[in-house]
Amino acid sequence: MQPYGMRIAAIQKQMMAQQVSHLILGPSANLFYLTGLSPMPDERLQLLVIPAQGEPALVLPELYRTMVEEAGGGWTLYTWGDGQPPEQALQKLLAGVTKAAVDEQLWAMHLLQLLPFLQSAQLVEASQVVGEVRMHKDSQELQLLKKAAELADAVVPWVIPQLHEGITEKQVAFLIERCMREAGAEGISFRPVVGFGPGSADPHHTASDLPLQKGQMVVMDFGCKWKGYCSDMTRTICFGKATPEMRQVYEIVLAANRAGFAAAKAGTPCEQVDAAARKVITDAGYGEYFIHRTGHGLGLDDHEETYIVAGNRRPLEEGLVFSIEPGIYLPGRFGVRIEDIAAMTPEGVWCLNECPRELIEVE
């Protein structure tokens, strides 16, 4: 049951400290973290119920029995057949519930099915008890994150020779995904952001049918999953010759990325990493065009605790993994973002990405 037994024990400790009587998880990164199981989310109710004291239990449709048995682990399992909702199991598992921490990713239709059993319970978000534990990655998790980062690192050098006038944002997004999947990734960790020219000034741009033109900045933000763990990186290149202004903006963002890494030291509050990166951009006169926080935690989810944002005084501790992704976005014109993943280790900050960061002009 390793490492799941240890993780469940750590979660139960958090639950006791916060008087949470039950943790209720659906198919999600939380469920995978605590069981290694990743059933496909659909309209069928699938749960892991962990009491503050005692044994966890799985409630799954009968069709997942083989998956659970093959995974081993000796789980207490309640299965149910299509058309026979697991009312009795729910009654039993949720008896005596006073405060339930509920998976943020549990579908509303399933929470509604559970509500009759939670009438007298206080409901809180599962991240209150799971987030703190998941945030601190062990060395094995760091290795998986590194592998996911390596798969992402290979993308930009592979895509660049395939860029040509007329290729669309959607086609580049497909190339990005293909590169990572052919190298063995299970899939993408989020829909790739590909923006040409004005699209590059839109931080979460949806890749469109717009064709690439000479002289455009190209933002590519993407990541994949390796054994459940995510990568996430952004590179900005220029298709053709960069104007002096483009080059200047690029150098400011690169300096901000480096300042963020330089500030990431053990014990430093997260908000200071944000402040260090932001200062570079503000001092250069572009503060109003850096319109998002500097970073987010990364692990089994692409965005998870903790956040590199003003107001987050949490000190950087060993095992924390997060993005540093400053950007400047000039509406309707162009944008630049440079994102890498940082991991806190006993030796200091470790940048998981090795893809070069200097401005590339594709001739």
CB of 290 to Zn ion, least distance (A): 14
- Answer for the pair 340, 353: CB distance below 8 angstroms, yes or no: yes
CB of 140 to Zn ion, least distance (A): 23
Nearer to Zn ion, 271 or 339 (CB): 339
Nearer to Zn ion, 14 or 200 (CB): 200
Query: Strand 187-188 vs strand 224-226: parallel, antiparallel, or unpaired?
Result: antiparallel
Give the Cα separation of 34 and 71 in Å (integer).
12
Instruction: Return residues touching Zn ion (CB under 5 A).
Output: 221, 232, 234, 323, 339
CB of 339 to Zn ion, least distance (A): 5
- Answer for the pair 156, 235: CB distance below 8 angstroms, yes or no: yes
Q: Within the chain, how many helices (H) and strands (E) appear? A: 11, 20
Give the tokens for residue 12: 């139960």
CB of 18 to Zn ion, least distance (A): 29
Nearer to Zn ion, 216 or 234 (CB): 234
Nearer to Zn ion, 272 or 323 (CB): 323
For 63, other C-beta atoms within 10 Å of its C-beta total 12
Residue with tokens 């839109």: 202
CA dist list (Å): 253 to 23, 118, 145, 280: 42, 49, 24, 8
Give the Cα separation of 336 and 257 in Å (integer).
11
Give the Cα separation of 325 and 337 in Å (integer).
6
CB of 203 to Zn ion, least distance (A): 9
CB of 193 to Zn ion, least distance (A): 7
Q: How far is CA 240 from the centre of its chain?
A: 32
CB of 295 to Zn ion, least distance (A): 7
CB of 322 to Zn ion, least distance (A): 9
Residue with tokens 């963002």: 253
Local structure of 225: helix, strand or coil: strand
Give the Cα separation of 258 and 62 in Å (integer).
52
Nearest to 257 by CA among 363, 125, 357: 357
User: What sections of the chain are H helices per DSSP?
Assistant: 4-17, 29-35, 65-71, 87-93, 108-114, 127-135, 139-153, 155-159, 169-182, 244-263, 270-283
CB of 307 to Zn ion, least distance (A): 11
Nearer to Zn ion, 71 or 355 (CB): 355
Nearer to Zn ion, 27 or 326 (CB): 326
Nearer to Zn ion, 100 or 259 (CB): 259
